[in-house]
Structure 1
Amino acid sequence: MKKIGLFYGTYTGTTGNVAKRIAKELGEENVDLHNIKEDGALMDQYDYLIIGTSTWSIGELQEDWDAFMPQLEDMKFAGKTVALFGTGDQVAYPDTFLDGMGMLYETFQFRDAKFVGFWPTTGYDFTSPLPLFNHDNFVGLAIDEDNQPELTDERIKEWCKILRPAFGL
Structure 2
Amino acid sequence: MSKTAIIYSFNSNKTAKAGEKIKEAIGKSLDVEVVNAEDITEDKFLSYNQLILGVPTWFDGELPNYWDEFVPALEDLNLKGKTVAIYGLADQVGYPENFADGVGIMARLLRDRGATIVGSTKNEKYEFESSHALENGNFMGLVLDQENQARLSKKRIDDWVTEIVKVFKK
Question: For the superposition of Structure 1 and Structure 2, which TM-score range results when normalised by the shorter chain?
Answer: over 0.9
1:8 maps to: 8
- Which residue in the other structure is 2:136 paired with? 134
Structure 1 portions without partners, runs of 5+: none
Equivalent pairs counted in the alignment come to: 168
* Residue of structure 2 aligned with 1:93, choices 82, 92, 95: 95
- 1:100 partner SS: helix
Q: What is the alpha-carbon distance in structure 1 between the residues aligned to residue 122 and residue 60 of structure 2?
A: 23
Mapped to 2, the partners of 1:144 and 1:10 lie a distance apart of 19
Name the structure with the higher strand share.
1
Query: TM-score with structure 1 length normalisation?
Result: 0.92
Structure 2: which 5+ runs fail to align? none
Match of 2:167 in 1: 166
Aligned residues: CA RMSD = 1.8
State the shift of 1:52 in Å. Answer: 1.3
Identity %: 36
Code of the residue aligned with 1:58 in structure 2: it is: D
| Amino acid paired to 2:98 | T
- Provide, for residues 78-135 of structure 1, a one-character-per-residue CA deviation record: whole Å limited to 9, x for no partner: 0111111110100110111111111101110110111210000011111223101212
Secondary structure at the aligned position of 1:21 is classed as helix
| Partner residue in 1 for 2:145 | 144
Structure 2 CA distance, aligned partners of 1:2 and 1:118?
A: 21
Worse-matched range after superposition: 26-35 or 78-87: 26-35
Tell me the secondary structure at the aligned position of residue 56 of structure 2: strand
Give the TM-score normalised by structure 2: 0.92
Output the CA distance in 1 between the equivalents of 2:113 and 2:59. 27
